[in-house]
Amino acid sequence: MKSLIADEALSPFKSTQATFLVDSLNDFKGTLIQQRAVILAEPNKIPIKINMRVMHSDGTIIEYVEFA
């Protein structure tokens, strides 16, 4: 049972195909929405960074990271 929970928790990360470092998530978020990308995970702030996951119109899932 423990591994099933771990697999579920890791599922979003396994589908991420690339990670991009950006200067401003807010700037990229607006542009991505205009390009019909889907925000899978809204910007999330943790101590050293802010990140969000996005699915582009071709199905590619990218994590965008801005260091705080």
pLDDT digits (tens, 9 = 90+) for 7-65: 666 566 667 778 899 999 999 899 999 999 999 999 999 889 999 999 999 999 999 99
CA separation for the pair 37, 1 (Å, rounded): 35
Tokens of 58: 């071709």
Res 1 pLDDT > 60: no
- Whether this prediction's pTM lies above 0.85 is answered by no
pLDDT reported for residue 63 = 92
Sign of CA dihedral 18, 21, 26, 32: negative
pLDDT reported for residue 10 = 59
- Count, in order, helices (H) and strands (E) of the chain: 2, 4
